Copies of this chain bind each other. A is one copy, B any other.
Amino acid sequence: MRCLLSFILLITVHLGLFAQNVNKQNVPEKKSVNRVEITLPVVNGYTVLKCDFHTHTVFSDGLVWPTYRVREAWIQGMDVLAITDHIEYRPFKEYVGGDLNTSHELALPVAQQYGIMLVKGTEVTRKQGVIGHFNALFIKDANPIDQSDPEKALQTAYDQGAFIMYNHPGWALDTCLLTEFQQAMIDKGIVKGIEVFNNNEFYPRALSWSRDQKLTVFATSDVHGTINEDLGVPYSAATRPMTLVFVKEKTQEAVREALENGRTLAYFYDNVAGEEKWLKSLFLASVKLEKILKKEKTSFYRMTNLSGINYTFTIGTAQYMLDAGSSIQITVPANQREVSLEVLNMHYYEGRHPVVSMVLE
């Protein structure tokens, strides 16, 4: 019996090019660009949003149009985006017009279509190491924040209801720094957040400050060009720095409330930094243990990482890497009731990692 010559196997070509029986062949349109969905568990009843609260466009010193910023965030799995163009630094103003709200306004309709929550923000930008840079988030109007006195600028934003954070405390410096002005703004309750990661810099010292002074932690991209080329590699959960925000619901109010109450973690390059309690809760919600076999004096467990975050930890002297969406085999004495892990890629203070206990059933 001969079979028919009738079937053409359709292959999912990742390059996106398809064989078509016509005199032009085309790739399916933009519609088929994919958004990466970074898997994060519900943690203590909270949904975890992926947020970038610090980005730029050609309306300050960025290199892309505001709508590009939205689409890039969508592709890279962000839930929340703020465009925070500098008020004071606009090198392209010879060619690019508009006012201090324009970049947000141009981005907004695209954000709505893509389901990206666009938080209105701006960056108050003064001499680093003296006054410094601050992001004001949830502002109403950026134009009146343009003031010569930095305290007045921040106060104006605050009076609009802004949540204000201190940016890149070590950027362009030999060290990380809290100046007199910055400390005063924190003490007055004007500044309530701090970047512990910006672009490609981690500030362990700022992490210690966040604990000592009860500041909300942030990791931001501060992207000016594009994530892929600013950060040197294609986007992924591991390469776009982001702030994880633990919310009750996916609204601007709920995000604002979470920032106010310090329910964030900074996530950057496979590292997570922030409050010890939230680090442990995130880890425990991500990783599951399953008993495989008890054989004489040894029990074999499968430990599975259901989240999109890679974890590295030690159990005693043995070091493990448990990648996102994978599992490892661990062996323990048969009578052991608990296993204790020091999670090396989680940080709650300079040089300190959370130690997590998991029950062996």
A residues apposed to B, CB below 8 Å = 1-29, 31-37, 39, 58, 62-65, 67-68, 71-72, 74-75, 92, 94-98, 102, 106, 112-115, 170, 173, 175-178, 199-205, 225-226, 228-229, 231-234, 238-239, 269-271, 290, 292-293, 295, 300, 302, 304, 308, 310-312, 318-323, 325-330, 344-345, 350-351
Residues of B within 8 A of A239 (CB): 15
CA of A137 to CA of B319, assembled, Å: 35
| Interface of chain A, main secondary structure | loop
- A238 vs chain B, min Cβ distance (A): 7
Evaluate contact between B113 and A102: CB separation under 8 angstroms: no
A-B contact pairs, 29 of them (CB 8 A): A6-B204, A6-B350, A8-B20, A9-B19, A9-B271, A14-B321, A15-B238, A15-B269, A16-B200, A18-B319, A22-B175, A25-B201, A28-B321, A31-B329, A33-B328, A34-B328, A36-B325, A63-B68, A64-B68, A68-B225, A95-B106, A96-B97, A97-B97, A113-B329, A114-B292, A114-B329, A115-B302, A226-B229, A308-B325
CA of A128 to CA of B64, assembled, Å: 27
CA of A199 to CA of B23, assembled, Å: 16
Picked from B177, B233, B318, the residue with its CB within 8 Å of the CB of A15 is B233
Given A4-B205, A271-B9: A26 touches B200 (CB 8 Å cut-off)? yes
Most chain B CB inside 10 Å of its own CB: which residue of A19, A95, A320: A95
Picked from B23, B71, B112, B115, the residue with its CB within 8 Å of the CB of A225 is B71
Given A71-B229, A102-B95, A300-B113: A6 touches B23 (CB 8 Å cut-off)? yes
